[in-house]
Every structure is written in structure tokens, then in C-alpha cells.
Amino acid sequence: MKQKRAYHSCILFNGKILVVGGHDRTTVKSIYDTSSIYNRIATTEIIPLTNGVAGEHYFARGNLKTSRYDFGLVAVKYGHYKRVLAIGGKGGQTYPPQYIIDTEEWDDVKGEWKPFPHSLNGDFAGSMLAVSPQLVCP
């Protein structure tokens, strides 16, 4: 990857791997120092696949609206289209981190994230999503 990151999420979508969010651990003084925070990442790194071989990595034009880590990334059919959603997680530039309830949708044509009209009802990190089988993208 071009950017060092941890606690990010990845997904295979439309012939490419999206590597999204996370934090880069550069601002940590000590794992025991509760006053230090991680540098949260809002970027999306794209790894195109051609015949199963990774191509040159590049960054998407648009970042997540809310930098987040320890979050869920899922591809679903919503309406007539396949969509990638970034769900929940932790973020903010404070300690302790804030829980994120908003959801963002990947626009594969524009290469950017946009707000999704539905959000979580509660605080979720390491988010997972259960959906009907007919909603899951093949």
C-alpha cells in the first residue's frame, strides 16, 4: 500500500480492491499513554485487478467525509445498483475517540464518498451488517 494504515477496511468491488480509512499510528507516544491519539485516515486507496493480478495503486479523488477506523465496509444491492457502504466505527481527533453513527456510500464513477441517507441507531465499532441474501453482491 502507498499509505501506512491499521484498523482499516477492505473490499473487492467492480474488479478492484478498496482500502479505506484506518489510522496510521504515527502520533502514538505509548500504548499506555491515554492522552495520545492516532492520526485518523480518510483516504481510499484503490488497487485495480487485471486477471487476478494487482495493478498500480492510486488514491481516490474523494475522501471519506468522516475519517474512521474499526468500521464495517459492505457491498450490497440497493435499488438497481451495487453499492459499497462504510458503516459505523470510531473517529474524531479526540481521546477517547467518538463513535460514528453515519453511513457513507462509495460513488464508483466519481471515485468519491458521499453521505448515505440511513445511519446507525447507536454506537458501533468493528461494525458488521446482516442482510437478506438477495441484497448481497456476488
Q: In the sheet that 98-99 helps form, which strands lie side by side, from edge to edge?
A: 68-69, 90-91, 98-99
Number of domains in the chain: 1
Residue 94 lies in a domain: yes
Of 110 and 36, more confident: 110
Predicted confidence band of residue 138 (pLDDT cuts 50, 70, 90): low
Across the chain, mean pLDDT equals 80
Q: Give the domain CATH number at 90.
A: 2.120.10.80
Region 27-31 average pLDDT: 53
pLDDT of 41 higher than 70: yes
Q: For residue 115, give its domain range.
A: 9-135
In a domain? residue 109: yes
Residue 133 has phi, psi (to 5 degrees) of -55, -35
The pLDDT of residue 21? 93
Considering the domain boundaries, does residue 51 fall inside one? yes
3 within some domain: no
Q: Please indicate, yes or no, if residue 97 is contained in any of the structural domains.
A: yes
Report yes or no: 26 and 51 within 8 Å, Cβ to Cβ.
no
User: Residue 55's pLDDT is what?
Assistant: 80
- Residues 71 and 90: beta-carbon distance below 8 Å: yes
Q: Report whether pLDDT(36) > 90.
A: no
Alpha-carbon distance of 43 to 62, in angstroms, equals 7
Q: Is the pLDDT of residue 64 over 90?
A: yes
Pairwise CA distance, residues 72 & 89, whole Å: 7
Is the pLDDT assigned to residue 88 strictly greater than 70?
A: yes
Cell numbers for 111, please give them: 471515485
Whether residue 2 is contained in a domain is answered as no
pLDDT band at 77 (very low <50, low <70, confident <90, very high): confident
Please, which pLDDT band fits residue 43 given cuts at 50, 70 and 90? very high
Q: Residue 20: inside a domain, yes or no?
A: yes
